């Protein structure tokens, strides 16, 4: 309940003393308006929260609960309330020891929370995805509201008269405690524009850009859900505090309209139609609620860049922010192809695309050619796309651009259009801090200004607690491909302009993990670890379809037994090195889950050693792509043989899994330094004299890792640290909330 109700409860003794209400059951003795304080809406005696005219015994019971609550409130050290001080400061100031902590959104942890009495029908989200923006009437009356069959019919026919798309939550006990009977022909007549479910994921629904208004019973939870998502109300209070909540909505905050019953106490279909049409066309109400922020997100076209930004997109959309996710046409096609076929997999994130300048058959693995084309062509296409969006609907105008830090040009486009700018760094703070220092390192004669190679053998040390960088461990190092190194160095150099041009810099990290590096970077907001967060258990951020059969396979393995092997989306091994890896895993003799992409060996399908597949059939599982967070969270997993990409590093740290490190390119070498030398949660592999990691080295290091209790304990400590960071009061939690508030200003 809101603070206004609790302020009224504390006022009960004065109401009894003044002879306004009966001391036994709270029945009004005088027909007076009750004013608790100047800033609290006036309440009529008919709207008292304990009023229950159809059952005086229930009223007496509810009134006693309020009286008892006063005693507990007076004796408690703190009173927590799901409200916002600024929404109702007058009431909050009347309640001793009150801590307003709302609004309470669903947890950022994976999945949904077990607090519903009915299963959610998530198919409604896929249905909403198909509706025009701002078109849908959402109708839901909570868990206890009941209507007579006659009133139910009027409600159904009123919704039908409006003619708009609607999503209606109809519980099995909605009409006098029994299943509802719809008016004759109603279901058939509304089939093409109506969706009826028994229960809905309400926060997701209200956050959806297609929703125009909320036809609600005004329960406090529903009130807070809609306020945070900026959705106007049509109020139909039923009982208890809902009448005062309506007064706040309509009279104090002015974000909704009420319904007037006819002379028989019935809300007619015509009243419903009239008020809905008035509500959705009321510009003053829309302005009071505020236009929903519209964020455009554009990642660099690589899996390791797209995936974390997609997770972030989901998280901000949970807070009422509309998101349009813009990829290149080529990457967009890969994402859509990797999505499951069912409609509910199509999330509320808007997926759009623009050309990258290359033709369908051109080689996008030619990094120099691709980046030159991107920087030449995509800025113009992005500007054209944004102008089209902004000119199509005043309520859908883009309010912020979040761009990959390598895409400083996208922030330049936003800057010229007068739009907020946020850079997103897909790497760790250590690598970003080094990029920020590039001009000084060039000026000092330590770096080549063309390809970023070290001009001497000195170690680069940015701060005491940041692992030093050597010549082969720079974030842009590609010893086997000088052209690629030059491209990556140019992108790292451009990170600097993105940092300087952005209002904020978002990073998928935890401040406590790398505070020294974070302190070197202006305006940084570490908000990690980013966790996939949607009720479907997946998100459209992968270039390959996930093989979820590996989870049931893990279920059959002993706790702490499985070696998980995954090298990300880019790493490529020679056939010889692939064979050594396979035979090394086999030598260990433990259960293993191995992710082998179709292009893992020199860009082509891998050929396994003779007889390997048959020999490991009983204890091995090989998939082309895995749901990595779920895998690492599984109790059967003992360790993670990883390429040390930053996303994988954060996934492993967040789940408390020790690492066996096999870095391949760019920042992965420095990430290994953090894992092995700073955090001490993993081991590295040593190549032989020919530069190969042998099967015997792999076997030896895996056996060392799984038997090292110190590393396991350190991994568990970091897991706890990261969990605290995203929990209420944690550093990442606070930074994320700050960011959301800035987006809504």
Q: How do residues 196-247 score in pLDDT, each as one tens digit?
A: 999 999 989 998 989 999 999 998 889 988 888 889 999 998 877 888 888 8
Q: Matching CATH topology for 123-289 and 294-533?
A: yes
CATH of segment(s) 123-289: 3.40.50.2000
Cα distance between residue 279 and residue 412, in whole Å:
39
Provide the pLDDT for residue 159.
95
As a whole number, mean pLDDT of residues 567-577 equals 88
Confidence of residue 62 (pLDDT cuts 50, 70, 90): confident
Cα distance between residue 415 and residue 401, in whole Å:
9
13-38 residue pLDDT tens: 887 887 877 888 777 777 777 777 77
Provide the pLDDT for residue 104.
78
Confidence of residue 134 (pLDDT cuts 50, 70, 90): confident
Domain map (residue ranges) of the chain: 3-100, 123-289, 294-533, 549-707
Q: Are 336 and 351 in contact (CB under 8 A)?
A: yes
Lowest mean pLDDT, pick from 3-7, 289-293, 369-373, 721-725: 289-293
What letter does residue 187 receive in the DSSP assignment? H
Provide the pLDDT for residue 334.
84
Provide the pLDDT for residue 476.
83
Q: Average pLDDT, whole number, for the chain?
A: 86
394 or 418, which is more confident? 418
Provide the pLDDT for residue 536.
39
Cα distance between residue 613 and residue 476, in whole Å:
36
* pLDDT tops 90 at residue 357: no
525-555 residue pLDDT tens: 999 898 765 433 455 677 778 888 999 999 9
| Cis preceding-peptide flag for 103 (omega within 30 of 0) | yes
Q: Which helix (H) or strand (E) holds 683?
A: strand 682-684
**Hey, how many other C-beta atoms are within 10 angstroms of the C-beta on 384?**
12
Cα distance between residue 291 and residue 272, in whole Å:
25
Provide the pLDDT for residue 345.
40
396 or 724, which is more confident? 724
As a whole number, mean pLDDT of residues 467-491 equals 79
Q: Are 507 and 715 in contact (CB under 8 A)?
A: no
Provide the pLDDT for residue 111.
43
CATH architecture of 549-707: 3-Layer(aba) Sandwich (3.40)
Q: What are phi and psi of 43, to 5 degrees?
A: -125, 130
289 or 153, which is more confident? 153
Confidence of residue 395 (pLDDT cuts 50, 70, 90): low
Show Cβ contacts of residue 653 under 8 Å, excluding neighbours closer than 6 positions. Answer: 513, 529, 679, 681, 715, 718, 719, 722
Q: Are 235 and 257 in contact (CB under 8 A)?
A: yes
What percent of the chain has a predicted confidence (pLDDT) above 70?
Answer: 92
Confidence of residue 70 (pLDDT cuts 50, 70, 90): confident
C-alpha distances (whole Å) from 127 to each of 166, 167, 203, 310, 448 are 10, 9, 15, 21, 55
637 or 69, which is more confident? 637
Provide the pLDDT for residue 177.
60
* pLDDT tops 70 at residue 365: yes
Q: Return the sign of the alpha-carbon dihedral for residues 361, 364, 369, 375.
A: positive
What percent of the chain has a predicted confidence (pLDDT) above 90?
Answer: 44
Distance of CA 578 to the CA centre of its chain: 36
- Written as six digits, the tokens of 451 are 């390809």
Q: Are 39 and 3 in contact (CB under 8 A)?
A: no
Q: What are phi and psi of 462, to 5 degrees?
A: -85, -35
Q: Are 666 and 477 in contact (CB under 8 A)?
A: yes
* pLDDT tops 90 at residue 680: yes
Cα distance between residue 233 and residue 167, in whole Å:
14
In the Cβ-directed half-sphere of 381, how many Cα atoms lie within 13 Å? 17
CATH of segment(s) 294-533: 3.40.50.2000
Residue in the block written with tokens 């198919």:
123
- Written as six digits, the tokens of 265 are 């106490």
Confidence of residue 86 (pLDDT cuts 50, 70, 90): confident
Confidence of residue 630 (pLDDT cuts 50, 70, 90): very high
Provide the pLDDT for residue 638.
97
| Cis preceding-peptide flag for 529 (omega within 30 of 0) | yes
Provide the pLDDT for residue 110.
38
Cα distance between residue 342 and residue 339, in whole Å:
9
3-state secondary structure of 640: strand
149-188 residue pLDDT tens: 999 999 999 999 999 999 999 998 888 766 778 999 999 9
């Amino acid at each position: 309940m809101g603070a206004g109700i609790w302020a009224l409860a504390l006022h009960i003794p004065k109401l009894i003393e003044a002879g306004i209400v009966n001391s036994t059951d709270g029945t009004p003795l005088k027909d007076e308006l009750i004013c608790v304080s100047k800033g609290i809406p006036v309440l009529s005696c008919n709207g008292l929260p304990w009023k229950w005219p159809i059952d005086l015994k229930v009223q007496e019971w509810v009134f006693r609960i309020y009286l008892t609550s006063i005693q507990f409130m007076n004796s408690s050290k703190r009173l927590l309330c799901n409200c916002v001080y600024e929404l109702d400061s007058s009431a909050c100031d009347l309640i001793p020891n009150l801590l307003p902590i709302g609004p309470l959104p669903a947890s950022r942890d994976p999945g949904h929370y077990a607090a519903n009495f009915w299963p959610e029908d998530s198919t409604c989200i896929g249905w909403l995805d198909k509706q025009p923006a701002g078109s849908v009437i959402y109708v839901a009356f909570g868990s206890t509201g009941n209507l007579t069959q006659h009133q139910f019919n009027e409600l159904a026919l009123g919704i039908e008269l409006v003619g708009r798309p609607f999503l209606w939550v109809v519980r099995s006990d909605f009409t006098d405690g029994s299943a509802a009977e719809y008016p004759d022909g109603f279901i058939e007549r509304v089939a093409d524009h109506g969706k009826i479910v028994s229960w809905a994921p309400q926060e997701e629904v209200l956050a959806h850009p297609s929703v125009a208004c909320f036809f609600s019973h005004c329960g406090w939870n529903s009130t807070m859900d809609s306020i945070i998502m900026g959705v106007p109300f049509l109020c139909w209070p039923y009982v208890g505090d809902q009448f005062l909540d309506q007064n706040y909505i309509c009279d104090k905050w002015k974000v909704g309209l009420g319904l007037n019953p006819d002379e028989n106490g019935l809300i007619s279909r015509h009243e419903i139609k009239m008020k809905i049409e008035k509500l959705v066309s009321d510009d003053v109400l829309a302005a009071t609620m505020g236009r929903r922020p519209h964020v455009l997100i554009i990642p660099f076209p690589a899996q390791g860049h797209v995936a974390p930004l997609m997770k972030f997109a989901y998280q901000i959309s949970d807070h009422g922010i509309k998101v349009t996710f813009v990829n290149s046409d080529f990457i967009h096609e890969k994402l859509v192809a990797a999505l499951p076929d069912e409609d509910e997999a199509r999330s509320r994130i808007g997926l759009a695309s623009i050309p990258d300048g290359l033709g369908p058959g051109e080689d996008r693995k030619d990094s120099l050619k691709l980046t030159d084309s991107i920087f030449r062509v995509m800025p113009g296409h992005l500007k054209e796309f944004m102008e089209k969006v902004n000119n199509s609907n005043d309520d859908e105008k883009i309010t912020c651009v979040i761009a990959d830090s390598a895409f400083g040009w996208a922030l330049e486009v936003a800057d010229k259009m007068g739009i907020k700018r946020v850079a997103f760094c897909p790497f760790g703070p250590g690598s970003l801090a080094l990029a920020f220092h590039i001009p000084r390192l060039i000026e000092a004669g330590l770096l080549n200004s063309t390809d970023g190679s070290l001009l001497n053998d000195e170690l680069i040390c940015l701060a005491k607690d940041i692992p030093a960088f050597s010549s082969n461990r720079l974030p842009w190092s590609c010893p086997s491909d000088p052209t690629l190194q030059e491209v990556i160095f140019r992108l790292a150099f451009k990170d600097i302009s993105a940092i300087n041009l952005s209002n904020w810099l978002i990073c998928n990290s935890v401040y406590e993990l790398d505070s020294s590096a974070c302190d070197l970077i202006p305006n940084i907001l570490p908000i990690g670890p980013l966790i996939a967060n949607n009720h479907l258990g997946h998100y459209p951020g992968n270039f390959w379809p996930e093989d979820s059969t590996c989870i049931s396979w893990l279920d059959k393995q002993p706790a702490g037994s499985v070696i998980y092997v995954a090298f990300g989306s880019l790493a490529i091994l020679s056939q010889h090195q692939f064979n050594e890896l396979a035979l090394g895993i086999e030598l260990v003799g433990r259960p293993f889950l191995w992710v082998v992409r179709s292009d893992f060996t020199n860009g082509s399908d891998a050929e396994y050693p003779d007889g390997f597949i048959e020999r490991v059939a009983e204890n091995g599982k090989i998939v082309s792509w895995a749901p990595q967070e779920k895998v690492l969270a599984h109790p059967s997993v003992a360790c993670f043989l990883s390429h040390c990409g930053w996303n994988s590093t954060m996934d492993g740290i967040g789940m408390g899994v020790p690492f066996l490190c096999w870095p391949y390119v760019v920042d992965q070498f420095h990430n290994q330094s953090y894992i092995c030398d700073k955090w001490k949660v993993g081991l590295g592999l040593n190549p032989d004299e020919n530069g190969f990691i042998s099967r015997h080295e792999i076997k030896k290091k895996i056996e060392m890792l799984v038997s090292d209790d110190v590393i396991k304990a350190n991994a568990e400590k970091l897991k706890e640290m990261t969990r605290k960071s995203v929990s209420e009061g944690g550093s990442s939690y606070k930074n994320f909330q700050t960011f959301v508030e800035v987006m809504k200003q």
